[in-house]
A and B are shown apart, each in its own frame.
Chain A
Amino acid sequence: MADVEAPLEPQSRHVVYCGVCSLPPEYCEFGGTVKKCQDWLQKNHSNMYERLWSEDALAAATSTLSLDAQKRAEKDAHKKALKAEAAEAKQAATIKSSKVIIKRVERNKRKFVTTVTGLENFGLENKKVAKDLGKKFATGASVTKVASGGEEIVVQGDVSEEIEEFFLEKFPVIPEDNIELVEDKKKKGSGAGG
């Protein structure tokens, strides 16, 4: 039985999703980031912006709701917007006060590993970053739990400076001043502990 391959014309629609809240733009009004969503839409899809946010469109959209329901919806939207703003402010504060620590750790004589901590405060995922680092430096990179409760990325080799450069380039969300390079030298000859 021969499979005849008829050339298939794709029937799939292509739908635009909001670059800010990820929903179809006609639903942005229900999220807490309406202002930002509008700006994005105006910049990227001005036709659609006109269709959704022109005065006519807005009037048509709300006319079907009772006055009471309109008020409740407005109140709800306002609350959501406030919440989103608060969350954003909090995130900004976290970023300001957080540090990514890149530490050079001597494991054996002239054998080093580099550890990275603090990325989660910048909304980055340790597991993903570890994978990136492993690829970038063609070396082992893993995520381990630390005693204090958090996680750290352990990269084989002394690559602290390269990691800093890589972060600055790839993650603009981390300000340069918030990256700290430190060194953890083992004391020589100390028997216990280590």
Chain B
Amino acid sequence: MFKKDISPGSKSKVKSSVQRAIRTQLVQTYPLLAPHIDEIIPKKEQLDAMKIPERVTLYLIGPTPLFYQHMTDALLPHLKLVHRFPTCFPSIRIDRGAIRFVLSGATLMAPGLTSTGGRLPSGNSEEKGGYGELGGKGEEGKLYWKGDEDDDEREDGKEGWYGGRELEKGEPVVVCAEGKREACAVGLLSMGTKECKEKGKGPVVEEGHYLGDGLWRLVTE
């Protein structure tokens, strides 16, 4: 969606009623964000909106990009926000071989997820909580979340946890990568994760936002 460079548009202030509505919508879409919503969009700070191409609105506070939205689709987190709160979004993982394709803006295809290096939700809807490359389940199913920049050891050497319910077609998803801590893409599922496992082929995330794309490089200061 953002293969081309984007030149910054002008920012406009979001009305406080709209700002409240966005907060509510975010917590509905991403229940795991609820404990952090005051940190992400503090009540007293002004949320700004920037119109960018392809009928997308980017929401920011100061220079910090937070979410973007295509027309009235679901609000999707900017990757920098995902990096700040990595376990608050449902995620899947691609194998190493698929990384360079995703980073060049190619559609994410099922084989990159169903291979040994890939991860899809376990389908156990009893499991709740953090997903993703940095999150995991420690003792007694307790969720942990490591993330110090210079912290070199992942807790107990555990890799990310990709449990939880199957995700439906049209749901937002964060794309992590084999061997990497940070997520590399965000988008809407064009195929449910269950179907993805069953079929093992076809596009899974199209038109996403990925590391190094126009949205990533957009100057927001």
In angstroms, Cα B84 to Cα A13, docked, is 4
CB-CB contacts of A19-37 with B at 8 A, as 1s and 0s? 0011110110011000000
Contact present for B103 and A47 (CB under 8 Å):
no
In angstroms, Cα B117 to Cα A64, docked, is 8
> Residue A51 contacts which of B40, B99, B152, B216 (CB distance < 8 angstroms)?
B152
Interface size in chain A (residues, C-beta < 8 A)? 29
Residue of B nearest to A46 (CB): B150
Contact present for A27 and B180 (CB under 8 Å):
yes
Contact present for B84 and A12 (CB under 8 Å):
yes
Q: Beyond A30-B100, A73-B97, A73-B100, is A24–B83 a contact (Cβ under 8 Å)?
A: yes
Interface residue SS majority, chain A: loop
Contact present for A65 and B211 (CB under 8 Å):
no
A162 within 8 A of B: no
Give every chain A residue within 8 A of B184 (Cβ-Cβ): 27
A61 within 8 A of B: yes
Contacting B at CB under 8 A, from A71-106, are: 73, 76
B30 within 8 A of A: no
In angstroms, Cα B42 to Cα A12, docked, is 13
Min Cβ gap A51→B in Å is 5
A181 within 8 A of B: no
In angstroms, Cα B212 to Cα A31, docked, is 9
Contact present for B149 and A15 (CB under 8 Å):
yes
In angstroms, Cα B38 to Cα A30, docked, is 35
B168 within 8 A of A: no
> Residue A10 contacts which of B39, B149, B152, B179 (CB distance < 8 angstroms)?
B39
Contact present for A15 and B83 (CB under 8 Å):
yes
Q: Beyond A22-B212, A27-B184, is A76–B100 a contact (Cβ under 8 Å)?
A: yes
CB-CB contacts of B81-104 with A at 8 A, as 1s and 0s? 001111000000001110110010
**Subset of 22 A-B contacts with CB under 8 Å:** A11-B85, A12-B39, A13-B83, A13-B86, A13-B147, A15-B147, A22-B212, A24-B83, A26-B179, A30-B103, A45-B150, A47-B152, A48-B149, A51-B152, A64-B95, A64-B96, A64-B117, A64-B178, A65-B97, A73-B97, A73-B100, A76-B100
* Contacts beyond the supplied A10-B39, A31-B212: 5 A-B pairs with Cβ under 8 Å: A15-B83, A15-B147, A27-B103, A61-B96, A76-B100
